[in-house]
Amino acid sequence: MTLVAGVGLLLFNSCSTTDRTVVVPLQIAGATFAGDKACADCHEKITRVFPASPHARLHLENGQLPGQSGCESCHGPGSKHIALGGRGGLEKFIVNPGKDPQACFQCHAEVQTEFHFPQHHPVLEGKMNCVQCHDPHGADILKPAGGLAMSRLNETCAQCHREQTRPFIYEHPALREGCTACHSSHGSINAKMLTAPDSNLCLRCHAQVAGPAASGRIYIGGRDHTSSMAFGSCWTAGCHAAVHGSNIHPILLY
């Protein structure tokens, strides 16, 4: 590890196989790292749930990162915040990544890239933030912060997308696999943040079967789709346009 003019290049080795490079750990003028125990004095509730968070498992390959604790990897060095008893210049003396996601991008550069894709959730624009979908402190990081009783992935999306998550008489069973079966959650190069731009999105689960040799027919879901294939994507108007579900039609036409 080299330290050049306060700029450290630290390699985290998590319990998973991912290595993440931290370029420039968070800095707060004049402050030093105080350690997780120091936070417990005043933020007992968070300190109690934190050990179950994936971020609590962060560790360095060769022992501890000097002075930098779990809490401070996201909140920056806390000594000045503590000395002031949390009062006087919250903005200045402690980092809150709920207001600015830059702290997360130190280690999740690939996520930052996703938010730059042409179709993306407006996080970098400041209209949304990571904690609307991720609980930064608790065990279930895919739950939004704020103690909402949400257990399924889709319910995270349902906070804001009522139209797609309301009950349908004919629900598309694909939704049971989660919205992310078809949508990227951060950003995508495809319209509507789809994981594939064309009918391949659907054919992953609905096999396309060739008819008897030389007939040239194509079957999907046991039905002859030979002429339908010319229309474009499976969800073109007039076809399965009600991809999320329908109250009228079992094969999701409207």
Report the site for ligand HEC in 145-174 (rule: CB under 6 A).
145-146, 153-154, 156-157, 159-161, 164-165, 172-174
- The tokens describing 17, both together, are 């196989």
Choose among 12, 26, 25, 70: nearest CA to 46. 70
Cα–Cα distances in Å, from 151 out to 115, 142, 144, 187, 218? 25, 9, 10, 23, 40
Task: Give, as ranges, the residues between 37 and 76 that touch ligand HEC (CB under 6 A).
Answer: 38-39, 41-43, 46-47, 50, 54-55, 57-58, 70-75
Neighbours of 138 (CB within 10 A): 15
Footprint on residues 215-254 left by ligand HEC (CB under 6 A):
221, 234-235, 240, 243-244, 250-252
Q: In the window 72-101, what residues touch ligand HEC (CB under 6 A)?
A: 72-75, 78, 81-82, 85-87, 90, 94, 96-98, 101
Q: Which stretch binds ligand HEC (CB under 6 A): 1-9, 135-143, 210-218, 224-232?
A: 135-143
The owner of tokens 């809150």 is: 96
Which stretch, 1-9, 197-205, 209-217, 224-232, contacts ligand HEC (CB under 6 A)? 197-205
**11 vs 71: CA distance, rounded Å:** 17
Q: What amino acid is encoded at 115 in this protein?
A: F
> CA 41, CA 71: separation in Å to the nearest integer?
13
Could you tell me how many residues of this chain bind ligand HEC (CB under 6 A)? Answer: 101
Query: Which residue is nearest to ligand HEC, using beta carbons?
Result: 86
Distance of closest approach, residue 151 Cβ to ligand HEC, in angstroms: 13
Question: Which residue in 154, 181, 151, 156 sits closest to 167, CA to CA?
Answer: 154
* The token pair that represents 191 in the structure block: 């319209």
Q: Does 111 bind ligand HEC (CB under 6 A)?
A: yes
Footprint (CB under 6 A) of ligand HEC, residues 8-27: 12, 14-16, 18, 20, 22
Which one of residues 133, 143, 150, 187 is an interface residue with ligand HEC (CB under 6 A)? 133
Give the nearest distance from C-beta 23 to ligand HEC in angstroms.
Answer: 11
- Find out whether 192 and 117 touch, Cβ atoms under 8 Å: no
Give dist(CA 239, CA 164) in Å, integer. 18
Single residue of 28, 31, 80, 185 touching ligand HEC by CB under 6 A: 185
